[in-house]
Amino acid sequence: MCSARVRSDDDLTTRARIREAAVDLFGRAGFAATSVRAIATEVGVSPALLLHHFGSKDGLRQACDDHITGWLTDEIERVNVDDTPATVMSLMGRRPEYNTMIRYVRRTIVDGGKFADRVFASLVTDTRRYLAAEVAHGHAPPTDDEEGRALTLVVLSLGTHLLAQYLAPPGTADDDVIFVAGERLALPMLEMLTHGLYSDTLMLDAYREYLARIPHLTSEKGSR
């Protein structure tokens, strides 16, 4: 079920080849900017066949979402067993089929919608689990706002993917962008996650004071 996702196109049913092409094109150009005709041409079939199999363009998107969901679940599960985020970040983007998935997820997040909400939520959940493990092993101190810390990490990693095209040098081959961007930021990010940026608590104190002075909510946030 897992290794079956890596194979030459010849092995696939036409239905599956259509879906693969759709995932690729949706991920690259977005759902709205990808026409049914473009996908059909890519696969070498008629536009009508596509609707015969999936009912409508939205049906095809649904099939892509489902496919990616399963894929993502498998991979995260497989990876959580024995890898660290650093190695995961390095490994991903190396293999072209990961590129396709990451591009699709990227598009999903950018375009929004229910599926995107679910994907984001699951990323946060996974990060919280990872952070809890780090705290348990004594590699990170506990915090009042575990969710906030997880959100910050998700912004860092997802943001790196979202902005990959700007982080990789101009002219980087399309399929290398995600990997190159990850490598570019890995060291300065780890540096910041290890030693922080500021050498004093000036900023932090200033913001805490700002929060204390303006009690804008039924806030229990500025506490500790």
Partner DNA sequence: TCATTGGCTGAACGCACGTTTAGGGTACTG
Partner DNA sequence: CAGTACCCTAAACGTGCGTTCAGCCAATGA
**Binding piece for DNA, criterion CB under 7 A, among 40-48, 81-89, 125-133, 137-145:** 40-48
Sequence-ordered list of residues with C-beta below 8 angstroms from that of 128, at least 6 positions apart, any chain: 146, 147, 150
Q: Report helix, strand and coil shares of the chain as percent, to nearest 5.
A: 70, 0, 30
Interaction of residue 151 with DNA, rule CB under 7 A: no
Candidates 28, 29, 42, 51: give the one binding DNA (CB under 7 A).
51
Kindly tell me which of 4 and 32 has the beta carbon lying closer to a copy of itself.
Answer: 32
* Residue 187: how many other CB atoms lie within 10 Å: 9
Give yes or no for a contact between 180 and 172, defined as CB atoms under 8 angstroms apart: yes
Which of 4, 165, 11, 168 is CA-nearest to residue 97?
4
Radius of gyration of the chain (CA): 21
Shortest Å, Cβ 13 to a copy of itself: 32
For residue 75, the partner it binds in DNA, a copy of itself, none, with Cβ less than 5 to 8 A by kind, is none
Shortest Å, Cβ 29 to DNA: 11
Kindly tell me which of 15 and 149 has the beta carbon lying closer to a copy of itself.
Answer: 149
For residue 117, the partner it binds in DNA, a copy of itself, none, with Cβ less than 5 to 8 A by kind, is a copy of itself
Interaction of residue 48 with DNA, rule CB under 7 A: yes
Interaction of residue 215 with a copy of itself, rule CB under 8 A: no
Shortest Å, Cβ 46 to a copy of itself: 25
Give yes or no for a contact between 182 and 92, defined as CB atoms under 8 angstroms apart: yes
Q: Map residue 37 onto helix, strand or coil.
A: helix
Which of 200, 160, 154 is CA-nearest to residue 180?
160
**Binding piece for DNA, criterion CB under 7 A, among 31-39, 147-155, 173-181, 209-217:** 31-39
Give yes or no for a contact between 221 and 145, defined as CB atoms under 8 angstroms apart: yes
Interaction of residue 218 with a copy of itself, rule CB under 8 A: no
Interface residues toward DNA, by CB under 7 A: 14-15, 34-38, 44-49, 51-53, 56-58
